Structure 1
Amino acid sequence: MRKVGFVLYPGYSTMSLVVSTVFEMANQHAGMKVYDVQMLSVDGGPIRTSAGFQIVTDRLSAEPLDLLVVGGSIEDTPPDVLTLLRRAPQFARRIAAPCTGALVLAEAGLLDGRRATTHWMYARAMAERYPKVRVEEDRIFIADGAIWTSAGMSAGIDLALALVEEDLGKEAARQVARQMVVYHRRSGGQSQFSTLLELEPTSDRMQSVLTYAQRHLSSRLSVEDLADVAHLSPRQFSRAFQSETGQSPAKAIEHMRLQAARSLLEDTHHSIDQIALQTGFADRDRMRRAFMRAYGQPPQVIRRATKPTSVEPA
């Protein structure tokens, strides 16, 4: 049985507790207690969370753990927690820090010389405050040796699913993801940002256009096509779309294609030519130019960053 300990302290973010559900579902899928999940603290007893309610914890001892999970807090991390974490590699085989828990590990010095990520809102500040940490802000999660960090909110679930996959295999992780009704599973290298979230149209009309576009990226998707979906003239549509999203239709569609293509590069073994066709770029040269404009790197470089064994020709 794998012992998983969550280290709690005052102001602990309740979002980090969602990670525990992945291990709970893994137990249900296995039909046995594969993971023994414990809520722990330095002294034991009730701990007040960021939501105001309390969670009863056991005292953290030096008993070996397979995984120690460190979440963030709305309050400063107590010195005794940092002292404990500095000793954690001695008794925990792996350490995971969803969201701003990465800042706690950085403060404890556990991320020095390592690659790490965190919620995009705090990534820049983390890089400035902890220059010894190699912060990669546009990542869902990163595993550097025995230490795992993730981006904010739901990315902790992706991290936990990756841990389950490492422990129990891909099919077990897939079944847990299905049970939780989440995507199985975003790769660690996938971008934290969503084009649809960034556009944030204010009307159902424009939202329906974006939904249509997302489902038909391989099609031409001209302004005339999108205007028909919105039941507007091309001129009316272009003005309304720009007003609601802050982008031209052409630029928004390119961003959606870029995001889809990057996801396919990171999560599949499809060739770059296939991905270019599937996402509406038509050919690899056109996709390459779009990648250089958006990311400053060609598709091959981004694929190699997440799939080291890839041999896609340049």
Structure 2
Amino acid sequence: MSAGSVALVVPEEVGVTFWDLYEVSIPATVFGMPQPDLADPWYELRMCGIRAHGPVDVPGFALRTRYGLDDIVGADTVIVSSVPEEVVEDGEPVPAELVTALRHAYDAGARMVSLCTGAFALAEAGLLDGRRATAHWMHTATLAERYPKVQVDNSVLYVDDGDVLTSAGMTAGLDLCLHLVRRDLGAHVANQLARRMVVPAHRPGGQAQFVDLSVPATDDQGLAPVLEWARARLDQPLTIDDLAQQAMVSPRTFYRRLQQATGTTPLQWLLHQRLARAQSLLETTGLPVEKIAQLSGLGTSNNLRHHFLKQIGISPSDYRNAFPRHLRESLSDT
């Protein structure tokens, strides 16, 4: 499996807000810091600047980059972290040179990605026409009004439409970046990287933007021990009643608390955990698919295949075949 090259388009020679910096730093950290023990080679990152003109009248500072927009053509993945604030707030056009470069990169076969307001650039380039896409909920109404051909979804964390992916703002951009690592290098690598970054290993893109999706740091609701208890017993039948009993609350109360904390229902959470377990076993062991289905709590190989095809898009066997045997053997020894 290959990580490939990533061209990260960043604001340059304009006022860079701290929000811009945050959304630049996320893909720079994920794709720009080598992780040789997880995958070697890691991604090759190019920071490519947008050259804009005009006075700097927003809080922040200016960035200088080694690469320009011409350097995004030929990259395997192109990420637009944001567009100048005046594009969104004042209706000014997306820089024409950026639009042209994005079209050329897409025509050359690049996977196109936007974080937050970067969706405006992809939309201006026509790459979101007829597609479902998202951005930060504060900007989705403007995006939908300005680009009526785009099917704007203001409620999700990110949208994976194959060769074009978009995310909401701030931390949702990290979710999408980890999703890309998961797609490229597998769940084991993505999970280990997330662990190093001290963030949840995976939040499905369909989770809502509007709820607090992380378990509170103080864990006032007592969910963390219950979820760890469940993860240790994924090979066993588990029901909402079992989880509620472990949490010492009613099933209705547990349902409500988990949905508030994670944005998903108990059964959806369990399914996601079982699939994550199956992915890890497929990547790191040579166990038969039937055995993996049992260990992950999905019962039979047919049931495992059904959920894999529905949620991940390929069969368990095809997923396993993406990982060379020597890689599975080395992972199983770690």
Please state which band the TM-score falls in when normalised by the shorter chain. Answer: 0.5 to 0.7
* One-letter code aligned to 2:129: D
1:30 aligns to 2:38 (yes or no): yes
2:10 maps to 8
Task: Say whether the 8 Å CA contact 2:111–2:163 is kept in structure 1.
Answer: yes
Q: Give the count of matched residue pairs.
A: 241
2:140 to 118, 123, 128: 123
Deviations 1:138-173 (A, max 9, x none): 111111121110111011111111111111111111
Which 5+ residue runs of structure 2 have no aligned equivalent? 88-93, 227-242, 276-306, 314-334
Distance 1:110 1:11 in 2: 27
Is contact 2:207–2:263 with CA below 8 Å preserved after alignment? no
Q: Distance in 1 between matches of 2:120 and 2:70?
A: 23
**Structure 2 residue 80 is the aligned partner of structure 1 residue 70:** yes
CA distance in structure 2 between the partners assigned to 1:37 and 1:208 by the alignment: 36
Q: Please report how far the alpha carbon of residue 254 of structure 1 lies from its aligned counterpart in structure 2 after TM superposition.
A: 9.0
After TM superposition, list the pairs within 5 Å mapping 1:60-139 onto structure 2: 60-61=69-70, 63-73=73-83, 74-76=85-87, 77-139=94-156
Q: Distance in 2 between matches of 1:67 and 1:267?
A: 27
Corresponding letter in the other structure for 2:163: A
Q: Percent identity?
A: 34
Q: What secondary structure sits across from 2:265 in the alignment?
A: helix
Change (3 A) 1:211 1:196: farther
Whole-angstrom distance in 1 between the partners of 2:126 and 2:27: 23
Give unmatched runs, 5+ long, in structure 1.
201-206, 223-248, 271-302, 310-314
Measured after TM superposition, the shift of residue 307 of structure 1 is 3.4
Match of 2:182 in 1: 165
* 2:272 corresponds to 1:267: yes
1:256 is aligned to 2:260: yes
Per-residue displacement from partner, 1:243-294 (whole Å, max 9, x unpaired)? xxxxxx9997596389341761773459xxxxxxxxxxxxxxxxxxxxxxxx
| Inter-partner Cα distance in structure 1 for 2:42 and 2:312 | 31
CA deviations 1:196-241 (Å, max 9, x no partner) are: 89xx9xxxxxx9795347877825758xxxxxxxxxxxxxxxxxxx
Q: Secondary structure at the match of 2:202?
A: coil
Output the CA distance in 1 between the equivalents of 2:65 and 2:143: 31
- Structure 2 equivalent of residue 245 of structure 1: none
Which residue identity is paired with 1:135?
A: V
Q: TM-score, normalised by structure 1?
A: 0.63
Give 1:189 deviation, angstroms: 1.2
Q: CA deviation at 1:195?
A: 4.7
Q: Is the CA contact 1:41–1:60 (under 8 Å) kept in the aligned structure 2?
A: yes
Aligned mates of 2:127, 2:207 — CA distance in 1: 24
Q: What displacement does 1:61 show?
A: 2.6
Mapped contact 1:3–1:65 kept (Cα < 8 A):
yes
Counting only pairs closer than 5 Å after superposition, residues 163-312 of structure 1 correspond to structure 2 as: 163-195=180-212, 210-212=220-222, 218=244, 221=249, 256=260, 259-261=263-265, 264=269, 267-268=272-273, 307=311
**How large is the RMSD of aligned CA atoms in angstroms?**
3.7
Which of structures 1 and 2 has the bigger CA Rg? 1
What SS does the corresponding residue of 1:51 show, helix, strand or coil? Answer: coil
Q: TM-score, normalised by structure 2?
A: 0.60
8 Å contact from structure 1 (residues 186, 267) kept in 2: no
Within the candidate set 142, 152, 177, 2:159 is matched to 142
**Conserved? CA contact 1:25–1:179, under 8 Å:** no
Q: Distance in 2 between matches of 1:155 and 1:175?
A: 18
